A and B are shown apart, each in its own frame.
Chain A
């Protein structure tokens, strides 16, 4: 068990999402940065889709009620165990009673905590990913208790600390493919999309990222049609909305671009005020 002493800004349990229920209007959900979450799971010997804690902007304070093994990946938030600094991308033994806390956010925006065996919070419709109205909780709460498995499956001596390429945190390149309505854009609109810098607005969360700059838009709305995480919608006012993992399942705005999974991972590590540019995948 893990006891939540302090919840931090926004932390939730996520796996690779709720697949196959979109025709009931159920969002996919799942970790925002699949790459970082997969590395955390691999370090503690879990299957890459196991449930991890996704920690956004500022970390929680957690007390472990049993021995386990953990790994932290993704954003650098200066974590420590019992006040002693630890590093990301390393498999660590945790003893009963240890307290994990986090400090200042240094780079990236979301970090991932994996525990041996994965978090064992309630599975609903094939996934433990927290989502309001589907799982009992939408984020972890102070005084809450999170179930984890007993036992340690990995010998930490096997790893000296993984060298992980985290340069994507600082990269402004967001990899995209053409979206279904891309072909309706004019050459001027296409050029604007690929040569402009866009700034992330304060409207950014697990459902979507809105961008500040606009692209003059004369496209008609579309008949409500499926959308998926990573879809870039062009709204009538010319604003761009990038749908993220918790997005709705259908939408009526033209889908001009589509982020690749790698593009979603990169964007997930960015926040208000950061600039990005779209780069077409070769």
Chain B
């Protein structure tokens, strides 16, 4: 399936490619496939690529790049039927400790949603989430797929400090804070895994298009995983997804 794309100049050396503006896994897959084709194309002056829900920015090394000729090349790349499998999608299993020691907003959420804490955890662990993109903070995954029963407006007053690893719900989204940060989401647990490691050339293990599932662990299991993570030997459980 192909989409009617819009190509818009973005600054002096970038092009913004826009898909129909909606959150849609089919659009995400098309963006990831296009991005992969661009990376593996012979574009000589390509500098970097970044994308959101339904747009992809492509920046070039040369400031004097010619917008219309680059767009022409991109259109050819988009239409090229070389559907080589040049990227692999993975499915990650992510441990989360939902103990109220970490999940400081679980009780409030339970009252507001008229749901037992255990039901919140069950629902949060039942969904398969899709990584749409990474943004906001280094290693912060924008995940789609939250159970609508868990949708909760953001806190009226954001917290100044949210602990690294906090698993939270904000609006129609859920996410993991990869580092300490201010934030307005409701915190329901903590994940012992590092989502951002600047010493690695691929600083985040997950990529757009991957999927992710949470599973609950006790405080003791959490501490054990943390030791392995800190020692740099923890292996995140994952499977390669084949279409």
**Stretch of B10-18, B71-79, B104-112, B210-218 contacting A (4+ beta carbons < 8 Å):** B10-18
Q: Which residue of B lies closest to A230 (CB)?
A: B11
Against B, the Cβ 8 Å flags (1 = close, 0 = not) of A49-69 are: 000000000000000000000
From B52-60, B94-102, B182-190, the one touching the partner chain is B52-60
B residues 99-154 near A (Cβ < 8 Å) are 133-140, 142
A 121-168 contacts with B by CB, 8 A: 124-125, 133-135
Interface of A is mostly: loop
Q: Which of B8, B10, B16, B133 contacts A250, CB < 8 Å?
A: B133
CB distance from A177 to the nearest CB of B (A): 6
Determine if B203 is an interface residue (Cβ-Cβ < 8 Å): yes
Instruction: Point out the residue from B9, B16, B57, B203 that lies within 8 Å of A24, measured CB to CB.
Output: B203
Which residues of chain B (155-211) have a CB below 8 Å from chain A? 178-179, 196, 198-199, 201-204, 208
- Whether B23 and A223, one on each chain, are in contact in the complex, defined by CB atoms closer than 8 angstroms, is yes
Shortest A146–chain B CB gap in Å is 20
Whether the Cβ atoms of B10 and A228 lie closer than 8 Å is yes
Segment from A14-22, A39-47, A106-114, A193-201 that makes contact with B: A14-22
Residues of A within 8 A of B54 (CB): 223, 225
Pick the residue among A24, A224, A249 that contacts B204 (CB under 8 A): A24
A interface, size bucket: 20 to 34
Q: Is the CB of B57 within 8 A of A223?
A: no
B136 contacts which of A133, A177, A179, A248 (Cβ < 8 Å)?
A248
Are A24 and B52 in contact, CB atoms less than 8 angstroms apart? Answer: no
**Chain B residues within 8 Å of A177, by CB:** 9, 11-12
Cβ-defined contact, A228 with B53, below 8 A: no
Kindly provide the distance from the CB of A166 to the nearest chain B CB, expressed in whole angstroms: 22
Known: A24-B196, A125-B198, A248-B136. A226 touches B57 (CB 8 A): yes
Q: Mark A13-34, 1 if CB is under 8 A from B, else 0.
A: 0000001111111110000000
Q: Which residues of B contact A26 (CB under 8 A)?
A: 138, 203
B22 at the interface (CB under 8 A from A): yes
The reply to whether B12 and A261 form a contact with Cβ atoms under 8 Å apart is: yes
Verify B10–A260 contact, CB threshold 8 A: no
B51–A226 touching, CB < 8 Å: yes
The 7 A-B pairs at the shortest CB distance, nearest first, are namely A250-B135, A225-B52, A226-B57, A22-B50, A225-B55, A226-B50, A223-B53
**Residues of chain A having any CB pair with chain B under 8 Å:** 19-27, 124-125, 133-135, 177, 179-180, 222-226, 228, 230-231, 248-250, 258-261
Interfacial residues, chain B to chain A (CB-CB below 8 A):
8-12, 14, 16, 18, 21-23, 47-57, 59, 63, 133-140, 142, 178-179, 196, 198-199, 201-204, 208
Q: 30 A-B residue contacts at CB 8 Å?
A: A19-B47, A19-B48, A21-B203, A22-B49, A23-B51, A24-B138, A25-B139, A25-B178, A25-B196, A25-B204, A26-B138, A26-B203, A124-B199, A133-B138, A134-B138, A135-B198, A180-B8, A223-B21, A223-B52, A223-B55, A224-B142, A225-B53, A228-B59, A230-B11, A249-B134, A250-B50, A250-B136, A258-B10, A260-B12, A261-B63
